[in-house]
Amino acid sequence: MPQNNAELLKRMFRAAIDSASPDLCVAPNLPPPPAGRTVVVGAGKAAASMARAVEAGWPADRPLSGLVVTRYGHGVGPLPRIEVVEASHPVPDEAGWRAAGRILEAVQGLGPDDLVLCLISGGGSALLALPAPGLTLADKQAVNRALLLSGADIGEMNCVRKHLSAIKGGRLAAAAAPAQIVTLMISDVPGDDPSVIASGPTVPDDTTLADARAVLARRGIVPPDTVAARLLDPTAETPKTGDEIFARSRTVMIATPQMALEAAARVAREAGVAPVILGDAIEGEAAEVGRVMAGIARQCALHGQPAGAPCVLISGGETTVTVRGGGRGGRNVEFLLGLAVATGGHPAIHAIAGDTDGIDGTEDNAGALMAPDSLARAERLGIKPRERLADNDGYGFFAALGDLVTTGPTLTNVNDFRAILIGR
């Protein structure tokens, strides 16, 4: 058993991130250059690093141009052939709106000998903020904020976004036809559904206008009148499976949450700790997931099931937080605070949770570490863990302990990573 449990957990987190590095996974999946032009477009937290990898792997004597949009702070500096634009995430802004409009224009007018190479990663949905006809950016911003605050999961959010967009839900593919389309995707969603990643701009969308209306109703969101009218307009439906616009479109998944969990498991195994991968698509309220995971961890510690100590429970996916308090949050620190309260300072249980993009929610940390003495140290500082959890203040709790994990933008994104280490 390693002496420094925190260091092992951090090494596992780093291995998960590194497994999805575009520098490693883009080049082997590049298509051959076409007879005509190659136009690169894309969006997401990894878009800039993916574009850089494309340039590095593309023949210097073959034409290459394009534009990608990434989150503020996730750029890689100017590239020689592909323009990189930064915009706001998770709430869209004007920079994303303008970039999305330019991307749509860039793929129009191409012929069958041309190639559109589309680079898609998590976060692309908010970054490709091009409102459908009749809607404004303010309309989309209002709905997006309401969905975030409601605790809507990524599938629900993207269902609504696709039906309010001029570029998502397969509409980019429609604009690019009859060119060949190859989409390289880094998945950040449970199940790796390409129609959900960045709201699937180049793939069919089998959700419907009725589904989008149901999401808003279920989450108690009253949309602007223009949005309500759009969601009742049958001509606003997205292209579906079987549509001929997808006949020359191909999607390749180049990095996934499961790959990241397996990379972390190898690090644990090399350290003499048995890894147990619980799943790459775990969803639910972050604090509640923390409480459930606490029960599994205690079962390991007390009864050696589903694995005996030393072992580490590894999981991925995307939890949600229904915001009820006024604290500084992030779903990973909320998960850890829920876990800490539920384990009650058990002496054998340590944990890490973080977002592989390096940003937990909207804060400056990727996540945090939890130790057996986290609750005791907090109490000595006069911090009441349950009150902080009720206030959605996981960031403040772990910041006070000095246990935040800060990586800065990692330039990739395969969703959240959680590891609970049970020692002897």
Q: Which residue has the higher pLDDT, 148 or 223?
A: 223
pLDDT tens per residue, range 273-300: 999 999 999 999 999 999 999 999 999 9
Residue 408: pLDDT over 50 = yes
Q: What is the CATH number of domain 5-16+258-422?
A: 3.40.1480.10
pLDDT at 72: 95
State the sign of the Cα–Cα–Cα–Cα dihedral 153, 154, 159, 164.
Answer: positive
Averaged pLDDT for residues 144-149: 90
Proportion of the chain above pLDDT 70, given as a percent: 99
Averaged pLDDT for residues 154-160: 88
Residue 3: pLDDT over 80 = no
Phi and psi (nearest 5°) for 352? -135, 145
Averaged pLDDT for residues 113-136: 94
Confidence class for position 184, pLDDT limits 50, 70, 90: very high
pLDDT at 90: 86
pLDDT tens per residue, range 125-141: 889 989 999 999 999 88
Averaged pLDDT for residues 184-190: 92
Closest CA relative to residue 358, chosen from 299, 281, 417, 278: 417
pLDDT at 2: 43
Q: What is the pTM of this model?
A: 0.86
pLDDT tens per residue, range 318-349: 899 988 999 998 999 999 999 999 999 999 99
User: How many angstroms separate the CA atoms of 253 and 22, rounded?
Assistant: 12
User: How many angstroms separate the CA atoms of 231 and 399, rounded?
Assistant: 43
pLDDT at 32: 97
Show Cβ contacts of residue 285 under 8 Å, excluding neighbours closer than 6 positions: 151, 319, 320, 321, 322
Each as own residue / partner, the long-range contacts of residues 300-309 (CB below 8 Å, 24 or more positions apart, any chain) are: 300/422, 301/346, 301/348, 301/349, 301/422, 306/276, 307/274, 307/276, 307/422, 308/274, 309/348, 309/422, 309/423, 309/424
Residue 1: pLDDT over 60 = no
User: How many angstroms separate the CA atoms of 35 and 280, rounded?
Assistant: 40
Domain ranges of the chain: 5-16+258-422, 22-255
Q: Classify 22-255 by CATH class.
A: alpha beta
Least confident segment among 54-58, 163-167, 191-195, 273-277: 191-195
Q: For the chain, what is the mean pLDDT?
A: 95
Averaged pLDDT for residues 173-188: 97
Residue 64: pLDDT over 90 = yes
pLDDT at 151: 86
Closest CA relative to residue 354, chosen from 403, 296, 312: 403
pLDDT tens per residue, range 344-397: 999 999 999 999 999 998 899 999 999 999 999 999 999 999 999 999 999 999
